[in-house]
Structure 1
């Protein structure tokens, strides 16, 4: 393909991805007051009444300006739309990349799109489960004499950032598997760097989690370490299969009058032969 053809295809892929994002945003906008807002506020509403202003049992958040509610709904709808349309725009990304891949690499496209979607959903759900404990720890540090009245933009922004951080963090081991499958990252390199990977995973979790509490940090670092170890073992199996395939391909590529690697090696009898008894060839 020419450069113009590549740019045309890229434009078409981006247009399709944006269309999917727009449709997902509409769905998220309509879903906002039909269960999405309840889902996002449930961890805060599950806390004891002492963490809400004057023990408010209705668990209502506050908006401080006229356009705050509209902008908040648009923001949450956009993020929800990006998550809902992720399988489609991820497929568009892979569809643009796959023409440059080998035939055996193209077959992993659907698998990676499905795996990335499931991992992001699993990470977001894990964040939602740990959110209540993190909120309770953070709010309790203020003391009993402090009353809380959280604003909707601050609270929902905090919740969404935590869900996205957990979801994206579980994608990192999948990237390592993808790099191994295309031959960029070997199992030897992953295995040699295992301790550094685990250490940097804990550091990454400590900086990325908005709550900064040990419970939430370990909830993120633990699954990431398990997934990285799984990625290392997958890379080990893939490299073994690749080595066997390369060896078989090298053997079949030999000509009819060309010796195989086993035949080319000198035998033990030839190695032990006394040079002095070898006839002179001149």
Structure 2
């Protein structure tokens, strides 16, 4: 029996539980920096910058990074929309990530992410720089108190082009909704029916309008998030360098890590914690 208690499988399971408890404790410590809206689920969008396949591949790498981060925290992840790239990667993707303080934690990731690497798509083996933007909105559920008038909406129906089995390209079930007063555009094509896609798209639209209202109410506190420049040089929040050296650096806090693979595998808490602590210190000055 004692031999069984010390088996590698049991020890591995215990180590995993300890790591999970440490992560939960660290998140609980950060709760002091959160407001009421931060304990919402998060809607996360990723869009590649200019650069075609190279940038679209980088966007897909970020998609994997956030999914792995969520898995480490045992958060639920649902794909709301996915538009594949022409050759590789993604043109856009929208996720719903559900868990304690998911929005408060992931809001840190909002901004431009830059990758420097030897491109796998360049036969000459040259170094390339790619950009992708990450947007994060609070998902307070279907009961968000945001008035959306039907007259303010333009609804377009089209055929799905992403993963979706037998429904892809056979029925016009995908939905794109434009909110005319703000020009916010959302779409959903991952559900099997037009009704479900519209329901999900409206949920995302309400979350984005809710986020817009939060920004208006907290304009002074949200100066770093008020607006984003074009997806390119000068606007990035974090750089992931794989060539000529290996380093991930957050330009807002100076926090860095040399294990690029670990970060891309979802090890983001160091950066999230660093930003929240720095923001908390600034607010007390």
Q: TM-score w.r.t. structure 1 length? A: 0.23
Structure with greater strand percent:
2
Structure with greater helix percent:
1
Q: TM-score w.r.t. structure 2 length? A: 0.23
